[in-house]
Amino acid sequence: MNLISAIDKFSSYLLDEKNYSRHTLLNYVRDLNDLYSFIARKIEDRGAKIELKYIDELTLKDFIASFILNSEQKYSKRTISRKISTLKSFYKFLNRKKLYNANPARNLIFPKLPKNLPTVVDETALVNLLDLEYFSKDVWGLRDRAIIELLYCTGIRLNELVNLSIDNFDERNMVIKVSGKGRKERIIPIGIPAVGAVLAYLEKRDKYFEEKGTDCDMSVIFNAKNGKKLYPALVNRIAEKYISKVSEIKKKSPHVLRHSFATHMLNHGADIRAVKDLLGHASLSTTQIYTHVSVERLKEVYNKAHPKADSAKHK
């Protein structure tokens, strides 16, 4: 099998079976296309049908080294780590589907990454945002409020929010059903404020599009002004707009609200395994980073408040 055919099969697998987002899929494909370009340059044949059997461990190591040693563009360790992860996932897929037997990516070593803690919005700031009159009373203000409420109340991913259907919103039992990574479904409880915010928006939405005479996709909960399903870039702008009203953190995104949900849950004594299930994490180690966030916040408070926290101040 040649490399291009293998990349096509892998991308179809990520899209159809793993249900990966368009953004994640593009990153995987871009990394593998970079590998193709790297090998094509080496053999001086841009249109070559590069066979997998000619790609060995040394080739992959040289490929990764080309990013580490690139003097024109400095690639971060996180970017290089992602490329290695792509290669490992690619060959595991080929092996599992019995498309190719060898795995030259098996021994590639990830660079040691700095531990960057998730960005979190202060709990009081978020409560104030949702309690005070930051949202307009028209259909779009009600929509934005419902989005922020739902993201913070449930910790769902951006892709899960935009694809949330009416059928999977159960206001009677106060739960939603979402399809996460790998098409894994999970049931998530939602609070009374979020239920109320969604219902208020839906009532106004139906009237708005009926009066306007515009077609509206009524199968989903959240719509853009043209009536179509909400798209990720718009949700990002909405999150940035409202988080900016109450916080000066640099990163303001739907994922920050997911981080905030997990951190605030653990701060209030939630069991980490329950939080793992709510977030849809495959591994408990992924969820454990939020315990570090809580510890770091405690250290910060301690160092600011306790008279003996910093001995240098008392010398």
pLDDT (tens digit, 9 = 90+) per residue, 265-306?
988 888 999 999 999 888 888 888 888 766 666 676 667 777
pLDDT at 315: 43
Which residues sit opposite 220 in a β-bridge? 165
Largest CA distance in the chain: 74
Cα angle, residue 286 at apex, residues 166 and 10 outer, rounded to 5°: 70
For the chain, percent of residues with pLDDT exceeding 70: 92
Between 145 and 71, whose confidence is greater? 145
Residue with tokens 């009532």: 203
Token couple for 256 = 């920050």
- Counting other chains too, the contacts that 163-172 makes at CB distance below 8 Å and 24 or more residues apart are 163/220, 163/229, 164/220, 164/221, 164/222, 165/219, 165/220, 165/221, 166/202, 166/218, 166/219, 166/220, 166/221, 167/219, 169/198, 169/221, 171/195, 171/198, 171/199
The string of pLDDT tens digits covering residues 74-94 is 888 889 999 999 999 999 999
What is the chain's mean pLDDT, rounded? Answer: 89
pTM over 0.85: no
Give the closest residue to 235 by CA, choosing from 37, 77, 23.
23
Cα dihedral across residues 103, 107, 111, 115: positive or negative: positive
Residues with a known catalytic role: 157, 181, 255, 258, 281, 290
Residue with tokens 């910790």: 155
Classify strands 175-179 and 169-170 as parallel, antiparallel or unpaired: antiparallel
The string of pLDDT tens digits covering residues 134-180 is 999 999 999 999 999 999 999 999 999 999 999 999 999 999 999 87
- Which residues, 6+ apart, have CB-to-CB distance to 217 below 8 Å? 223, 227, 228, 229
In this structure, what are the phi and psi dihedrals at residue 48, rounded to the nearest 5 degrees?
Answer: -70, 145
Write the CA distances from 91 to 56, 179, 203, integer angstroms. 12, 26, 49
Write the CA distances from 37 to 7, 11, 48, 142, integer angstroms. 13, 17, 10, 48
Residue 58: which pLDDT band, with cuts at 50, 70 and 90?
Answer: very high
Write the CA distances from 110 to 78, 179, 221, integer angstroms. 9, 30, 41
Domains of the chain with bracketed CATH: 3-96 (1.10.150), 123-303 (1.10.443.10)
Q: Are 240 and 227 in contact (CB under 8 A)?
A: no
